[in-house]
C-alpha cells in the first residue's frame, strides 16, 4: 500500500486533477479550460456578473479571475465593461458567441458526472454535501 493511499488529502488532490483532466478532454474542441467553463456556466445560469460576484461564487480572487476573464474576452465569449454606477466595478456579460455556446457546451458537467459514476441524484447530492462540509471545516480552522 502506497503512502499516499492513506491520505484523504491525496485522494482529493487526485480526484480534482482527474476531474479537470476529463474537462480538458471534453472542452478541447472549444479551447476552454475548466475554470473558464465555470465562469461561462455562472453567466449562462445567472446572467451578468461582476468580477467580485464571480469571485464569491468560485472562491477566487481578482489575481486569478482578472487574467482568466481577459482570456475569455480575447476568445470572444464575454465582454467586460466598467459599471457606470460605480467605476470600480467591472461587469462581465456574455457576447452572442458566448450565448451560442450554451446549447452544446453547458451539458458537459452532466457528462462528467456520469463518467464519474455520479449519475444518481441522491448519491451525487450526498457526496457534494459531504465535501462541502469538509471544505467548511477546513476553512473555519484555517484562521
Shortest distance, position 141 Cβ to a copy of itself, whole Å: 4
Q: Per-residue x/- mask for DNA, residues 57 to 96, rule CB under 7 A?
A: --xxxxxxxxxxxxx--------x----xxxxxx------
For residues 135, 17, 51, 61, the Cα torsion angle rounded to the nearest 10 degrees is 60
User: What is the distance between the alpha carbons of residues 77 and 100, in angstroms, rounded to a whole number?
Assistant: 9
Shortest distance, position 48 Cβ to a copy of itself, whole Å: 14
Question: What does 1 interact with, of DNA, a copy of itself, none (CB < 5 to 8 A by kind)?
Answer: none
Q: Does 99 bind DNA (CB under 7 A)?
A: no
**CA dihedral (14, 15, 16, 19) positive or negative:** positive
Q: Does 51 bind DNA (CB under 7 A)?
A: yes
CA angle 4, 9, 13 (to 5 degrees): 90
Shortest distance, position 112 Cβ to DNA, whole Å: 14
Amino acid at each position: 500500500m502506497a503512502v499516499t493511499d492513506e491520505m484523504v488529502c491525496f485522494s482529493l488532490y487526485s480526484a480534482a486533477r482527474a476531474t479537470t483532466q476529463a474537462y480538458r478532454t471534453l472542452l478541447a474542441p472549444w479551447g476552454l479550460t475548466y475554470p473558464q467553463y465555470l465562469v461561462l456556466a455562472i453567466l449562462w445560469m445567472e446572467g451578468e456578473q461582476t468580477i467580485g460576484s464571480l469571485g464569491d461564487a468560485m472562491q477566487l480572487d481578482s489575481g486569478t479571475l482578472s487574467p482568466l476573464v481577459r482570456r475569455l474576452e480575447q476568445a470572444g465569449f464575454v465582454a467586460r465593461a466598467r459599471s457606470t454606477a460605480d467605476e470600480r466595478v467591472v461587469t462581465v456579460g456574455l457576447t452572442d458567441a458566448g450565448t451560442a455556446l450554451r446549447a452544446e457546451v453547458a451539458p458537459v458537467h452532466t457528462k462528467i458526472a456520469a463518467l464519474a459514476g455520479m449519475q444518481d441524484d441522491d448519491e451525487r447530492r450526498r457526496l457534494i454535501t459531504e465535501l462541502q462540509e469538509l471544505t467548511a471545516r477546513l476553512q473555519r480552522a484555517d484562521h
